[in-house]
Each structure stands twice: as C-alpha cells, then as structure tokens.
Amino acid sequence: MSAEAITPQAETKEFQAEVKKMLDIVIHSLYTEKDIFLRELISNSADALEKFRHQQLLEQEVFDSHVPLEITIDCDETNHTITITDTGIGMDRGELEANLGTIAHSGSKTFFSKLSEGEQKNVHLIGQFGVGFYAAFMVANTVRVKSRSFRQDDMGHEWVSDGAGTYTISMSPGIRRGTSITLELKEEARHYANAATLTRIIKRYSSFVPFPIKVKGEAVNTVQALWTRSKNEIKAEEYTEFYKFVANAFDEPLARLHFTADAPLAIKALLFVPQENMENMGFGRMEPGVNLYCQRVLIEQHAKTILPEWLRFVKGVIDSEDLPLNISRQALQDSALVMKINKVVTTRFLKFLDELSRSEPEQYGKFWKTFGVFLKEGAISDFSHREEVAKLLRFESSTTEAGAFTSLKEYVERMPEGQKEIYYINGANREAIEAGPYVEAFRKRGIEVLYTLEAIDDFALNHVGEFEGKKLVSADRGDLDLPAAAKAAEAEAEAEAALPGAEATALVAWMQEVLAGKVKEVKESKRLSGSPAIIVNPDGFLTSSMERVMRASGQAMPDLGRKVLEINTSHPLLKGLNNLRASDEPLAKSVVEQIFDNAMIQAGLTVESRSMVERTYKILARLVGSGA
Ligand code: ADP
C-alpha cells in the first residue's frame, strides 16, 4: 500500500446524517441573531486554548510552545472574508473528521431530533445547546478550517466545506499550532467583514473569554475572572453578562450565589440557577454546568465531581487555589480534595437556597417548581446532604391552597398536640386525593396531610425518613398510629351504626376467603367513615405509589398477597352485602371482588380490566333485572 492510500492527499467525505439536519436548520431556519456565529467560534477557540494550557501543564513536549495564547480576528472587506485564529490545541486529520463531520454529543443529537419546526427557530433554546461550529454556515458560503495539533508529529491539514453535504480534507504543511477558520461570507452577511461590527459583537457576547481577543491587532476584551473580584465592586449587569457567558444563556439567572471561603479550603465560587430546566423540556440528561478552576486556570469544564450529580442544573465557576495546577482528569475523579470542595460548596449552596426561601419566598417557589425535582433526586441519592435537602422540600397539603406549597418545618409547627408523625399521601392530583378514602380519617381529626403529586415524591420522603425527630409516614400504611383521644370519640360514634361484632367477624372471614390469593388480610377498618373499603400497605415501607412506579419499570415485586383490604362495616354497602351473602352468594362474591378492585383503583394500582368489566356487566344486568 502506498503512503498516499493511508493518508490520502485530498479526500471528500459525506457529513453524518445528523450534521446534515443541523446544517439545514442553521442555514434555513435561524434567520435572527446571526451574530451568534462569532460567539460560537470564539467559544470553540477559547476551549481549544484552555485545553492547550492544561495539556502544557501535563506534558513537556508540545509543538510551538512559545506562541502566545490568544484569539486573533481579521477581516477583508474587499474579498468579504473573516478569519478567526487561535493558538489552541488544534486538530489533526482524524480529529477534523470526527469533530467537524459528526455530532459527538448525544445531548445535541436528541435535542435536534426532538425540536419541532417552530422551536428550531428559537435561538434561545438552540443557544443553550449551541450549534457550535456549524453556526459558521449561518453567514458563510464556504468555511475553511486550517488546523495543526499540539502533538509533535502532526503536519497540519485543511478542511473545506460549503455546508451542502460534503467536506474535503487535504494536507496543509507549514502552519502554526492551533486553528484558523476562514469564512467566505454570503452576500447578505457581507457587512460582518468590518472591524467595528466584529468588535461590537465580541463586546456583547464574549467579553468574559479568558484569553485576549484581538480584532485587526487591537485588543477588544480585558481578560478578567469576575469570581475573583470582591462582591461589592461587581455590578448586577456584570453578573448577568457573566452568567450569559458561562451558561450560554440569553436571559437573566433565577438566582445567584457568589462566595469566598478561606477555611478549611480556599474557595471562590460564583454559581447561578438558570430560569429553565432543560431536562423538563425533554432534552435528556444535562451535563454538569460548573467549571473548575485553580487560580483562574481552567482545570475542567463541566466538571463531573466538583458538585453532586443532582446539582447538575447549577451553572458557574468554582476556583480553588488548593488544587494542584497539573492535576489530571483521572486524578480529579478520585481526589479527596475535590470531594472536600464538593462538600463545602454543596452545603453553602443548600444554605443559600434555604435563606432564599425565607428572604424571597416567591422566587423560591419559582425555583422549586422548576428545579425541585433535582432536590428530590438529591434526597434519594445523597445521604450526606439529606437533612439539608429535607428543609428545602415543598409540597401541597390539605392545609395549603391548591398550587401553594408548604415545608416540612411549617407542617411540624402546625402539628396539633398528640400528633407524632408527619403524614403524606400520593395521588394524581389534589382533587383525586381529596375525593379518595385515604384522607378521611385525617380530615376528621384535623390532621394535615401532605399531598405528594409526583411519583418521585414518595421515594424522596421515604429516604428522608424523618424530620425534626418526626417520622414521615404514608397515609396508606396499615398500622397508622393516629392520636388516641380523637380515636375514642370516633369509635363511639361508629360503633352505633356498625354491624354487630360477631356478624362483622364472620363477614370479614368470608370476604377473606373470597379474596384468597389476592389479599394478605381483610380487616375491619378503624379509619374509614364515608368510603366502604380501602387498600393499605402492611409493612409501611412501600407505598402504593412506589409500588406502581416499580412495577412500571419492570422490577420484580412481592406479590399482591401483601395488601390488606380494610372494610367499613358501618357502610350501607357492607351491611347490604352481609344480607346478600345469605340470599345470593354468587352475586355477593362478585360484589366483594368489585369492592376490592375499586379500592385498588383508588390506591392508584392496576386491576385486570377485562374480568372487571365482565363482572360489572353481570352485576348491572342483575340490577336492571335482565336475569342474566
Ligand atoms: P462543541 O463545541 O459543542 O463540542 P462544535 O460543533 O462547536 O461542538 O465543535 C465540535 C468539536 O470540534 C469541539 O468539541 C472541538 O473538539 C472541535 N473544535 C471546534 N473548534 C475548534 C478549535 N478552534 N480548535 C480546536 N478544536 C475545535
């Protein structure tokens, strides 16, 4: 095989299908805000420079080690071109192909496949994910990328494309380390080949890039690390601009925390909560949003271990001069120091949220609605911050108005004397819960019940376990320990109307026989008043809503025999059933099965619908007297 066959001189290749789709959107749909092409290319250059700076710390042998780390921009008004050059890490032939011919990020891939036509024009959304390099085609007919890797053995290559489906790569010897991108501007974008225009755009979008940017030799930005400056010197607009820079955002942050700690570690952190939860919008799992610095040098972008995974919605910067500058990615993963920084910053951030909930309850409510799901994830997955997270949880309850939230702390403060536990019940919505059987006993005793409306809620409360020494208990648990005084009064009232003791015992035993294999036990209920029956969970560990989720995810479940059916022997239906048993046992059995299915449905659990429908038809036929 000749050397040429191994590395052909010039080679034309097809873009990956996703790239074609992305290019199509970029070229045909993104009419507005074309300016962002420059931001995207400068941000790629800055990343490449950061990567080079980090590489230099790790290895001695890098090519062109003397050239200054900077971004230079040139334009030619006669030939209508712009050239953006960086002295960053560069790309070899394989990297040019992989990075500019395919979309590596699975996030961006799903993002684009999910966007509707209308949304594809929404630069706010696209900006958050970044069309990245391909933004060049918003303004250029032809894009030429010359690049040479920092590796000693790379020769330099040129990549050229008109964005129509293919690109060509050829050798380009004799160039410096880094990347230089030349845009041959489309007719309608020719005005960009103007130094003043370029300078204006850079000031607007890229003023926080941590490397010098020069337009026609003139420095445009002052390189600054905002997080290292003192809080009272920084204007609100500067914070917002910086947020837009780190989060690729177009709006204001929802909340901001800027703090400095000296002991036990030297930490400077500037953290933001964005307005939107991108995961909620169906874009898949977010990458972590905080970058790790040591004395203003970027150690890791989107650092994975610097904050817990469940805080991945937080954007910003953490800088600690205690970190060794030349720490490798691998060492970061299991560094005890990183774990310590993680702990300090997480604790501080959760305290900040707690303060926010008191100083700006409305803002906190907004935060909770958008990002509460991450805190619930934290309550479940992170034992070390469970108590701090528990303080931040919010739920609707029988005491709040629809749509308003309460905290566990407020719940405890409202607890009447004698109540020992905190109660919650899951349901599809407030109305369903309030119409269901589970809250009856609580309503009668004036005991508040938290409404957990999301499947994850019961898991979160179950993991939190207790709050201020009060156990968190699901109201569908079998052995509820409700206040005694009220219990006595209630028992008295109900004893009058209930079936006499012996009859009730016989009815219970008979029903248990009818439902053999379906329930663990049938019991006389102490808690029901309006409803005839209720399903409760004997072990108190698994709530019905948790069971539903686990079944849906295909997890093996202890069989249904565990459920307990409690019946209300003062309810007319049960009294009537007791009589029917003597006169028409087969029909009475169908009624028992139907009572059980109804109670299962009210517990949010699934029943076998075919036999249930057949059975109800049979019962209905009897009711209308068809004699079937
Ligand atoms: P993203 O920046 O989100 O990864 P892009 O499409 O902008 O997506 O770029 C794809 C990849 O191409 C980058 O991840 C990077 O590896 C490489 N790249 C782009 N521009 C440069 C550059 N100026 N220098 C070195 N590598 C670059």
The preferred substitution site among 99, 111, 148 for testing ligand 1, maximizing ligand atoms within 8 Å of CB, is 99
128 pLDDT more than 60? no
Cα–Cα dist 17/101, whole Å? 10
Closest CA to 195 of 78, 73, 71: 73
For the residues 46-59, what does the mean pLDDT come to? 86
Which atom of ligand 1 approaches the CA of 130 most closely?
Answer: 3
Cα–Cα dist 13/166, whole Å? 5
Nearest CA to ligand 1 atom 11: 99
Strands 394-397, 449-452: pairing is antiparallel
**Domain 226-364 CATH (choose: 3.30.70.260, 3.30.230.80, 3.90.1300.10, 3.20.20.10):** 3.30.230.80
Which atom of ligand 1 approaches the CA of 178 most closely?
Answer: 24
- Tens-digit pLDDT profile for residues 291-339: 998 877 777 888 999 999 999 999 999 999 888 766 766 677 778 899 9
Confidence category of residue 2, pLDDT binned at 50, 70, 90: very low
- Tens-digit pLDDT profile for residues 405-455: 999 999 999 999 889 999 999 998 999 999 999 998 899 889 999 999 998
Which atom of ligand 1 approaches the CA of 88 most closely?
Answer: 24
For the residues 142-147, what does the mean pLDDT come to? 98
Q: Which of 88-97, 102-111, 491-500, 597-606 is most confident?
A: 88-97
Every domain of the chain and the residues it spans: 3-219, 226-364, 492-623
Do 492-623 and 3-219 have the same topology in CATH?
no
Nearest CA to ligand 1 atom 9: 133
Cβ–Cβ < 8 Å for 229, 240:
no
Cα–Cα dist 51/180, whole Å? 16
Confidence category of residue 540, pLDDT binned at 50, 70, 90: low
Cβ–Cβ < 8 Å for 543, 537:
yes
Closest CA to 604 of 389, 454, 471: 454
Which atom of ligand 1 approaches the CA of 181 most closely?
Answer: 23
Q: How far is the CA of 163 from the centre of ligand 1 (A)?
A: 16
Distances (CA, A) of 533 to 319, 567, 603, 616: 59, 4, 11, 17
Nearest CA to ligand 1 atom 10: 99
Nearest CA to ligand 1 atom 3: 132
Which atom of ligand 1 approaches the CA of 43 most closely?
Answer: 2
Confidence category of residue 81, pLDDT binned at 50, 70, 90: very high
Q: Which residue has the higher pLDDT, 365 or 539?
A: 365
SS3 316: strand
DSSP for residue 415: P
Task: Tell me which of 301-305, 339-343, 348-352, 545-549 is least confident.
Answer: 545-549
Homologous superfamily of domain range 492-623 = Heat shock protein 90, C-terminal domain (1.20.120.790)
The preferred substitution site among 50, 109, 133 for testing ligand 1, maximizing ligand atoms within 8 Å of CB, is 133
Nearest CA to ligand 1 atom 8: 132
Q: How far is the CA of 584 from the centre of ligand 1 (A)?
A: 78
Nearest CA to ligand 1 atom 17: 99
Letter string b/e over residues 300-338, b meaning 16 or more CB atoms within 10 A of that residue's CB: bbebbbbbbebbbbbbbbbbbeebeeebeeeebeebeeb
CATH class of 3-219: alpha beta
Q: How far is the CA of 90 from the centre of ligand 1 (A)?
A: 10
Nearest CA to ligand 1 atom 23: 45
Strands 533-536, 81-86: pairing is unpaired
pLDDT at 485: 45
The preferred substitution site among 39, 44, 64, 82 for testing ligand 1, maximizing ligand atoms within 8 Å of CB, is 44
Nearest CA to ligand 1 atom 1: 132
Q: How far is the CA of 46 from the centre of ligand 1 (A)?
A: 10
Give backbone dihedrals phi and psi of 521, rounded to 5 degrees, phi first. Answer: -160, 150
Which atom of ligand 1 approaches the CA of 108 most closely?
Answer: 3
pLDDT at 484: 56
For the chain, the average pLDDT equals: 87
**Ligand 1: residues within 6 Å at CB?**
44-45, 48, 86, 88-91, 99-100, 130, 132-134, 179
- Tens-digit pLDDT profile for residues 227-283: 999 999 999 999 998 998 888 888 899 999 999 999 889 999 999 999 999 888 777
- Tens-digit pLDDT profile for residues 462-479: 999 999 999 999 999 887
pLDDT at 4: 42
105 pLDDT more than 60? no
599 pLDDT more than 90? yes
**CA atoms in the 13 A half-sphere facing the CB of 110:** 10
Helix (H) or strand (E) holding 493: helix 484-497
Nearest CA to ligand 1 atom 20: 44
Spatial neighbors of 394 by CB under 8 A, at least 6 apart, are 365, 368, 372, 405, 406, 407
For the residues 587-608, what does the mean pLDDT come to? 92
5 pLDDT more than 50? no
122 pLDDT more than 70? no
Which atom of ligand 1 approaches the CA of 44 most closely?
Answer: 20
- pTM equals 0.73
- Tens-digit pLDDT profile for residues 198-215: 999 988 777 778 899 999
